[in-house]
Structures are given as C-alpha cells and as structure tokens.
Amino acid sequence: MSDYSFYAGYIRYIVGKTVPENDEIAAMMEELTTIANIVESRDTFVIRADHLRLVGRALAGVAGFLQQHILPETVAESNETAEAEVRWVIDTSMRLVADLLSHAETTKDSEDYQATLPPPPEG
C-alpha cells in the first residue's frame, strides 16, 4: 500500500456513489477505478492519449463532488486530517484536469500523459 491509499479511497467512494447513466459515465468510472488501483502502489500513472479528455472530466467530477459534499462536512467536524486529505484530493485532481486538457490540446490528443502525484498531505 502506498501513501496514496487515501486518494484511492476517495476515488472509489465517488465511483461507488455514481450511477453510470450512459456509456461515457461508465467509461469515466472505469478509468477512475484504474487510477485508484494504480495509486495504491505508486505515485505515477499513464493516461492513454485517447482517454485524456474523458479522464479530465472524471477527475473534475471527483473534485466537484468532494468540494460540494465532503469538504463542508470535514470543516464542520473540525477534522483536520480529513480536511487536509480532501483539500489535497481536490487540488490534485484539478491540477491533473488542467494538465491533461493542456496536454490534449498541445498534442492534438496524440500522446499519452504520465501523471506524477505531488507528495501526500502530512498528518
């Protein structure tokens, strides 16, 4: 298990809460599950060129869900460890969204992207 098991946990929680109402949402949940499996053992993963935008949308959804539903609860409970983790997941997911979409634009969706996670929050 890596120092990023909390990230995998938040991703899996959101995947479990999401109803795949169409094929695109189902594909996003598959990609998120793959990322969760990988980050349990290492801090880098590769997004295929043809999935850059899909994964970007999926990670934006992770960040949005956490910001809207989970962060307010952790703040209200004064749970500093959970708050630090949730803020890290939101910030990291949104940074990845920006990086993925920028990479997709500059490469015209033709090159894979290697993501490297920043150090996890302390605590």
- Summarised one tens digit per residue, pLDDT across range 19-61 is 999 999 999 999 999 999 999 999 999 999 999 999 999 999 9
Domain limits, the chain: 5-116
Tens-digit pLDDT profile for residues 57-111: 999 999 999 999 999 999 999 999 999 999 999 999 999 999 999 999 999 999 9
Inform me whether the pLDDT recorded for 1 exceeds 80.
Answer: no
* d(C-alpha 101, C-alpha 77), whole Å: 35
28 CB-contact burial (10 Å; exposed 0-12 / middle 13-18 / buried 19+): buried
The sign of the torsion formed by the CA atoms of 122, 18, 113, 67 equals: negative
Beta-carbon count within 10 A of 69 CB: 11
* d(C-alpha 108, C-alpha 106), whole Å: 6
What pLDDT score was predicted for residue 71? 98
pLDDT tier for residue 123 given thresholds of 50, 70 and 90: low
- For 100, the 3-state DSSP assignment is helix
* d(C-alpha 30, C-alpha 103), whole Å: 21
**Residue 110 backbone dihedrals phi, psi, to 5 degrees:** -110, -5
